[in-house]
Structure 1
Amino acid sequence: MKTYQLSAEPRTDLGKKAAKALRAENKIPVVLNGGEIVELPYTAALKPGEKIVEIGRGRGLVTTDLAVSNEDVRKLIYTPDIYAIELDINGEKRNAVLREIQFHPVKDSILHIDLLEVNDKKPVVVEVPVQLEGHAEGVKAGGKLNLSMKKIKVKAPYTAIPERVVINIDNLGLGKTLQIGDLHFEGLELMNAKNAVVCAVQLTRAARGAQAKA
């Protein structure tokens, strides 16, 4: 994946009122998840913006509340590409991927962003764009190619996740489908249902007519 540099500042003033004030400054509330799992009660000092979220069985997860500039994240969000994010939090470097974005239901402005902290050992699930290559046999026979899944979910350490998955469709015949279960990519675990259709060559009227004549 490409790397995206993003500056963030710790956020200690929480709640709806504080979030609204932050957005008025053209900033976006962010939560960085996936931090260290600790035993409770936790008595060590927390960094600015950090808090402990209880996850059960006497354990807690360290998350970090942040704020980022609206302008700084536009190229990260409004793009078909996926990125590994290198966060700069007051000079401290943290690696993350985009987990979820909450948009305003009417204005379509960004209300909140969830990031997931990553490292080169722990696998993460990411949606990766699909790129088809080749010329399907079914299209040559008069069929129409239909891409049903523009992205597929893959699981791997973030350093092993490609910018896109490339699928060759040369052998895809007329009326045939290509499903998740038909695919394999070295080092990636595909997380979609095996019978999910990625693409298909649909019969057209012209193709049906040609088949009938044949």
Structure 2
Amino acid sequence: MEASFWQRKWEAGDIGFHQSEANPFLVEHFEKLNVAKGGRVFLPLCGKTRDLAWLLNCGHRVVGAELSELAINELFNDLGVKPKISRVGKLTHYSAKDIDIFVGDIFDVSAEVLGPVDAVYDRAALVAMPENRRHQYTSHLMEITHAAPQLLISYEYNQQLMDGPPFSVGEAEVKHHYASAYQLNSVESREITGGLKGKVAAIERIWLLQKF
């Protein structure tokens, strides 16, 4: 999707993808990443997700990338934290204790800018990418995180019945993007009650990606 698509979503408050509580899959399965307390977790396309607050409350450090500055201002307001704001190349860096958020195009985030991460939690990034951008995204993510272990949430549904995002990304495609670098394990899946966006039958799946 073009940057303007997501900017309009946030400006209009059309954020049905935002969840008011931490994702149950994250709460249930995060420990499988074996991240020590104080470890640094990267959330690509993080929005103002409550998952970030949950990770902080568990004693971890978090780093995010997000296109919408509006979303990140709301995130810090929700956390009750006043960030320091600076420029890093094309990106705006919002920082506070245990938090670094880079606002801008995720493809402008380099390994040097991101810094070391112990794990990746991708709840809404891969599934937000149209098919013709997913290979670029997954390659970039592995490059800037040095293929850190990952929890990935995907959706599977008949793409002909509904346009994304979130897009349908099935098992074959997940393996296509990541099997060369990771051992992949589908740890849980569930049918989405009422369908995705209330429109189409769908399965939500969480993957554990661990380096060989």
TM (norm. structure 2) is 0.24
Work out which of the two has the higher radius of gyration on C-alpha atoms and give 1 or 2: 1
TM (norm. structure 1) is 0.24
**Which structure has more helix as a fraction of its residues?**
2
